[in-house]
Structure 1
């Protein structure tokens, strides 16, 4: 049975992004240097509405620096950073939020002992009554939080329960719904499935697809190429601060993506040296040409990739 997420993904790819193909956020040759240390160099990235852009890379690849530039925490020192085609240089994350760029970090910026509805409006509480005796509009915040969560497909029995009692996947989904409610057009997700099990990761991936269906541009930062390939429309692999791979879904296979993410190109270059080490089987290691060669178009079509003898 075809899943709802898979069907949505196919529709988006074939029908085009809801908001057109113009990037909301775009980096052109962007880089960041901290004194003599160059953390990021020559990175091109385009985030379009209704698309999931996956950024993969090992520790120290430059993913955190990329997040900080787009979210307004740090400024780029080379290249261009454009929002809606206009060059920008954010000085604070608030400026990025005002332009619709929201970031959901791994710690989720939640208070575990506070209720779900209170965390939903944390820092943006609704009030009522005249000044100086204004008070929290608790009833309206509860109604709004419940409606927004249900709109994203998240049904919680009790919004009064501390958010710390929810599973990791549920807390990620609440953070995503909160960002969508407060006007996010670009959603940056920092390793949302890193500390989750298989089932909870699936829940988060489902809501990433739901955010894409609503027309948001999503930047999905991850170490896991399998998770990225399930929901991604474009893949960018960073290595040592530079862009090693930038390819659309139709231009890359999961195997190729995994090899790039795992440092397959380096292993291919070291194949001769590894062959000299006793007890190391290098027969299964990829050749360098296998990693750099573009896959055949038929691979992107599941029907075309079926073996002939399997057809009736």
Structure 2
């Protein structure tokens, strides 16, 4: 994409004792771009995301925000820049309603007391803007489906008006209809001009919404691909580090049978 990226990682490395988790990793995310971060288990995806989110400060390299080098040493640093992260566990409170979850830790107050009316109004406006359909903003989170819980968690991340949203396996364990609901929301985040980092093992989801696929293998970059011009087999090969795998063999077999 043209123009300067909102977020850029330049040569980022991270070590935990004797374990080198990330080595010289580069990544760019532009406004209005969905970047899928893929790789096998242990490839470094979670570590990379946590360096951006401020959970694990980097050991080497530079993180740039809108073209300038920044220090992200704690989660508050990332949030103040405009990074919002939705982890796989969602961290929602089942006993609170949708409004309570959206504004948890960011409650609106008036004259020293909670402004429930203002929070409910803003919650409705936010959910309407994102075309999120739930029975009521006053329903407890425990009463929502998996897909509805996921979109509420994403909506909560937007309360602080971020510029980059990180989604960690947002469709894991969801059914077909719920997955479609979440992917539609990812599209709307792109339309709002947000940069999105999507961690996923589901190549169908990646192909459906991502603009770019960044592959990590053993803590290093192993390819960056434009989704529109890249085959499923190329991405799988970059993930596994092998050009010969079940996917490529199946393609070859189908091609041979078609002759």
**Would you call these one fold, judging by a TM-score over 0.5?**
yes
Partner of 2:249 in structure 1? Answer: 284
1:86 aligns with 2:68: yes
Q: Deviations over 1:11-52 (max 9, x none)?
A: xxxxx7xxx731011011111111221001121100000000
Partner of 1:185 in structure 2? Answer: 163
1:173 aligns with 2:138: no
Partners of 2:133 and 2:179 in 1: CA distance? 17
Structure holding more strand per residue: 2
Q: Which of the numbers 26, 37, 59 marks the counterpart of 1:55?
A: 37
Alignment coverage as a number of residue pairs: 252
- Determine if contact 1:29/1:41 at 8 Å carries over to the other structure: yes
Partner of 2:198 in structure 1? Answer: 220
- Determine if contact 1:27/1:81 at 8 Å carries over to the other structure: yes
The two structures have a TM-score, normalised by structure 1, of 0.76
Partners of 1:283 and 1:234 in 2: CA distance? 21
- Determine if contact 1:28/1:81 at 8 Å carries over to the other structure: yes
Q: Which of the numbers 144, 154, 157 marks the counterpart of 2:122?
A: 144
Q: What is the CA-CA distance between 1:250 and the residue it aligns to?
A: 3.6
Partner of 2:180 in structure 1? Answer: 202
Partner of 2:242 in structure 1? Answer: 266
- Determine if contact 1:51/1:216 at 8 Å carries over to the other structure: yes
Partners of 1:61 and 1:234 in 2: CA distance? 18
SS where residue 249 of structure 2 aligns?
Answer: coil
Q: Mind listing any 5+ residue stretches in structure 2 that lack a counterpart?
A: 253-259
Q: After TM superposition, what 4+ stretches of structure 1 lie above 3 angstroms from structure 2?
A: 258-261
The two structures have a TM-score, normalised by structure 2, of 0.91
Partners of 2:141 and 2:183 in 1: CA distance? 20
Partners of 2:69 and 2:190 in 1: CA distance? 25
- Determine if contact 1:120/1:178 at 8 Å carries over to the other structure: yes
Structure with max Cα Rg:
1
- Determine if contact 1:29/1:43 at 8 Å carries over to the other structure: yes
Q: Mind listing any 5+ residue stretches in structure 1 that lack a counterpart?
A: 1-15, 272-280, 288-312
Partner of 1:66 in structure 2? Answer: 48
Cα 1:125–1:282 change in 2 (3 A) is closer
1:153 aligns with 2:153: no
Partners of 1:204 and 1:190 in 2: CA distance? 12
Cα 1:36–1:141 change in 2 (3 A) is same
Partners of 2:3 and 2:185 in 1: CA distance? 22
1:117 aligns with 2:116: no
